[in-house]
Structure 1
Amino acid sequence: MEQLQQITLETLPKAFMHLLDEVKELKTLLIQKNRQPQSTADQWFDLNELCNYHPDKPKPATVYGWVFASKIPVNKGGKKLRFLKSEIDEWLKQGRKMTLVESSLKAEQYLKNQ
């Protein structure tokens, strides 16, 4: 909202509603921030935690197949599989397909560099 230079009786309700909206937005942001984990340390997943975290909720047998085929980043501690959240997040992002616009821009950039 543009800054109100002068608040008059006519603009007072609009200014008041704007302030209420701003306070609600700030409150929502503070609540969201307080719900986020405060620790910046990376998180380790065991096999079941990974299955629950992964968006597709794969079965453990599927994850074992990915590990065997070296498709997923994994750390082994003895016989246990451990997965680092940051590595899993990066791995999941690599599977993202480009949008048509992104593909077009990439093709144009490639042709310009030729």
Structure 2
Amino acid sequence: MCTTVPTFDAMPQIMANILEKLETLEQKFDALQSNNKVEEDAWFSLQDLCKYLPNHPAEQTVYGWTSNHTIPFHKNGKSIIFRKSEIDAWLMQNSSKSVKDIYDEAREYVANNPKRGRK
């Protein structure tokens, strides 16, 4: 980093350098965003899905989920494929509640539903 004070005459060149670096940063940022978008819309085979899921279930387990329509899937001829963005949403939807969340829900339920049948 330059520690000297720029002169007025050097300002156009300094601004040109700043704009050039900004354009380079924008290009890199756009490339990162497009890579993330492509990855999010990736398709998984059954084997790829088993590797991707956190608990690495057996293929037979995933077949059971598809027959029960528990997990989002698509049929491609005879094979079953999975979209990464749908699997991520499914994982977030089925995340476990913490003990505190369950306790708060129970307190809210009791507060909003007084005992019935008591006089």
Partner residue in 2 for 1:58: 57
| Alignment coverage as a number of residue pairs | 81
Specify the code of the residue in structure 2 equivalent to 1:46: S
Give unpaired runs (5+ residues) of structure 2: 1-31, 114-119
* TM-score scaled by length of structure 1: 0.57
Q: Which runs of 5+ in 1 are unaligned?
A: 1-34
| Distance across 2 between alignment mates of 1:57 and 1:66 | 14
- Structure 1 68/52 Cα, relative in aligned 2: closer, same or farther at 3 Å? same
Aligned-residue offset at 1:105: 2.0
Distance 2:36 2:93 in 1: 25
Which protein has the larger Cα radius of gyration, Structure 1 or Structure 2?
2
Q: Secondary structure at the match of 2:47?
A: helix
Write the distance in 2 (CA, Å) between the matches of 1:102 and 1:90: 20
Q: Which residue number corresponds to residue 73 of structure 1?
A: 72
In structure 2, the CA distance between the partners of 1:109 and 1:37, relative to structure 1 (3 Å rule), is farther
Over 3 Å off, 4+ runs: 108-114
Offset at 1:112? Answer: 4.9
Higher helix proportion: 2
Q: How many percent identity over aligned positions? A: 40
- The Cα RMSD (Å) is 2.5
Q: Name the structure 2 match of 1:92.
A: 91
Q: Give the TM-score, by structure 2 length.
A: 0.55
